[in-house]
Amino acid sequence: MSGNQNKLSQFWRELRRRNVTRVLAVYIAAGFMILELVSMMSEPFGLPDWSMKAAFFILVAGLVITLIISWVYDVTPTGVEKTRPSSELEEGEDKVVPQAWRNWKIATYVSAVVIVGLILFNIFTRNLSSENLILYGKSIAVLPFKNDSPDQENEYFINGTMESILDNLCKIKDLRVISRTSVEQYRNTYKPIPEIAKEMQASFFLEASMRKYGNQIRMTVQLIDQTDTHLWSGQYEKTIQQVEDLFSLEIEIAQLVAEEVGAIITPKEKQRIEKAPSSSLTAIDFYSKGKEELNKYLYQNDKAAIDKAKVFFQKAVGYDSTYAQAYAGLGRIYFEEQSWSEEILSESFLDSVLYYVNKALLYDHQLAEAYRLRGDYTLAVQGDHNRALSDYTNALELNPNDQETYASRGNLYIGIRGDYVKGLEDLENSLKRSSGSELALKLANLGGVYRNIGFFDISHWYSLQLLSLDGDSVEYYDRLTWIAYVQEDIETMLELEKKIQEFWPDYRIGAWMALDVGNNDVFIEGAQKIIDNHNAGVNEAVIALYAYAPGYASWLMGEDEQAEYYFNLQIKYGEEIIEQNRAHAIYGHSYIDMIKVFAFTGRQAKAFEYLDELAENQNTVNKLMIAMIKLCPMIEPIHGEPEYKEIMQKMEIKYQTEHNRVKKWLEETGRMEQFGL
């Protein structure tokens, strides 16, 4: 062993004598500087992505050559000479330090300082970059693409290309992607990127301009970060003759963007991204038009657009009978049209939705939007929250950036399963992928959830966030009336009503709350609209969802026969809704409506039957539901009964148990500090 150590020691001394170690230090320092220079110059000079790798491998090859030369040759005062082996040196000769060696020693020290400096510089800049990235995480917004085409009819094609790239990015779990509807507010806007980044809480932005003329497209894409620093750009010019020409471009851009922002794409995600949805360019063309019209209906309240969307989707499947996305689009249209239609209690309710969803999943069993839609259908028609939960979870596995599915699953957890912790986590995930008007809806929803589970300070915090977003004082104070209602504080509600009237003199506390605070005139006015709709031929089943209201309003107006008619309508259809386990029932609303009618009409046994079922069926009875029962004058006739008090105590225990669980979660996760509590 000692012999081996002696050989290593001798070899090390020989390396030092021949200045190999000093040459190595100087070369590494120079290499660091060259790599830094290539990195700095790559963007301004448009160097290709492989430039850094090429420079690295050239330097490695040069290092090997340099070490060999430094072993064989040395620089002396008389020039470059071949280094003599130590065995040929006279005694003491190797201890003489030539001037050249002193120069090498100085160069070595300088090189060491350079290496340490460059390492510290890289660490420092990476930390700064990491801090910027941590600010909003691995998050990206695909801003609306600019249409440079002379023909504005190509707008749908350009938007379709944008949405396809966005959809590809949405399939990457390691990346948080802002939704399409959220970025629409920035179409034709010239806000600076740092301002948009702050509003959208996004770290990266993909911008593009496109020009389409016939089958030719020209596209310029650039990726920038939250500080408006240019990170990457690409120019593409292609002739689109077949599907692969278009989708290969969209896939390439999505993958390059993911790589640039450091998002990891799993093999399964890569497979999903690279799957073309259709083999027909004509079908894709019609689908893009249909999607554009559907978005106008969903997000711009264009009522006529839904019929246009239906026609385009039908044409798409006419050209490609296996086009899963087009079938899912048709399913979404029928869901929007029929959810509150006169067929709400028929056995065939939303059958067309299920038909198109099943067609979509037959041709693409990995289509996230089809699973989400089937979950919506299952809840609305069958009330099967276990199957709906499975569908929502499948949808999020396939598209981990679908804010709509996060919202749907979160509301299921909260409203049906009574699991506020999981529900709030999902609603927060939905919020993180939203902005603009969509963000306002998410903030309002979260504020309402915290209010209903008894965290009034947090609910108020969300109200303040909304106020800073829209500056609407009327809406702000109106939200405070809801908080006061859940706290069963009628006096504060009436004070807030007066406060709002300073901004809006005609404001009155509306909906069913008007009845509970004693605003009978407002309540009667609202109920009269339901009566008028019914007299105009609106289907009884739709009216019956809230038939207790025109019934009680009719009683207040002294029209006893009309009151009895609407009460009977409520009972008839309420029982059917509960028996069929429709959404209105599984969320508890139908039970409360039945309690109101039976309590007011003197049928206490039936009132307690539905009250007890409500308490048993709901895993968590929230504070809003409790307030609705306590404050409604229609239920007052049973308030003094022992059975009422016993059931209400059961509800209060369920509420308090979940309230405490949420509180513990808030404390353990540091969310209390986020809300300043």
Question: Six-digit token pair at 656?
Answer: 């308090």
Work out whether the CA dihedral 466, 470, 473, 478 comes out positive or negative: negative
- 403 with 346, same domain: the answer is yes
Domain span at residue 159? 137-273
**Domain check: are 485 and 634 in the same one?**
no
Residue 665 to residue 658: CA distance in whole angstroms:
11
Looking at the fold, whether 466 and 390 belong to one and the same domain comes out as: yes
Q: Is residue 287 part of a domain?
A: no
CA distances from 330 to 304, 339, 356, 359, 396 (A): 15, 14, 7, 10, 21
CATH classification of the domain holding 345: 1.25.40.10
**Token pair belonging to 525:** 């006015």
Domain assignment present for residue 230? The answer is yes
Please indicate, yes or no, whether residues 492 and 343 belong to a single structural domain of this protein. yes
Contact 51, 36 (CB under 8 A): no
Q: Which residues contact 539 (CB under 8 A, 6 or more apart)?
A: 341, 342, 344
CA-CA distance, 491 to 474, in Å (whole number)? 18
Phi, psi of 239 (to 5 degrees): -100, 120
Q: Give me the pLDDT at residue 7, please.
A: 62
Is there a single domain that holds both residue 443 and residue 325? Answer: yes
659 and 540 in one domain? Answer: yes
pLDDT at 597: 97
- φ, ψ (nearest 5 deg) of residue 306: -65, -35
Q: Are 170 and 254 in the same domain?
A: yes
Q: How far apart are CA 148 and CA 142, in angstroms?
A: 17
CATH code of the domain in which 250 resides: 3.40.50.10610
191: tokens are 């806000």
Number of domains within the chain: 4
Q: Which of 76, 105, 133 is the last residue of a domain?
A: 133
**Residue 107 located in a structural domain:** yes
User: Do the domain assignments include residue 507?
Assistant: no
If asked whether residues 358 and 466 sit together in one domain, one would say: yes
Cβ-based neighbours of 302, under 8 Å, separated by 6 or more: 293, 296
Profile the chain (677 residues) by mean pLDDT over runs of 10 residues. 59 63 68 67 57 73 72 59 60 49 53 57 48 69 88 82 92 93 83 88 92 88 90 88 88 91 92 92 94 88 92 97 97 89 77 96 96 95 93 97 96 96 97 86 95 97 92 93 96 95 91 90 92 83 84 95 95 91 90 96 96 94 96 96 97 97 96 86
Domain closes at, from 115, 133, 151:
133
What's this model's pTM, rounded to 2 decimal places? Answer: 0.80
pLDDT for the residue 50: 62
Are the C-beta atoms of 150 and 279 separated by less than 8 Å? no
Kindly state whether residues 316 and 203 are assigned to the same domain. Answer: no
pLDDT of residue 191: 85
Which among 253, 273, 293 is the end of a domain? 273
Q: Domain check: are 485 and 533 in the same one?
A: no
Distance CA(327)–CA(343), nearest Å, equals: 22
Q: Are residues 563 and 617 in the same domain?
A: yes
285 belongs to a structural domain: no
Q: Is residue 338 in a domain? A: yes
Residues 85, 6 share a domain: yes
What are the Cα distances from residue 43, in Å, to 52, 373, 615? 11, 45, 65
Q: If you ran DSSP here, which 8-state letter would residue 307 be given?
A: H
Q: Does residue 178 fall inside a structural domain?
A: yes
β-bridge pairing 176-177 and 146-147: unpaired
Residue 46 within any structural domain of the chain? yes
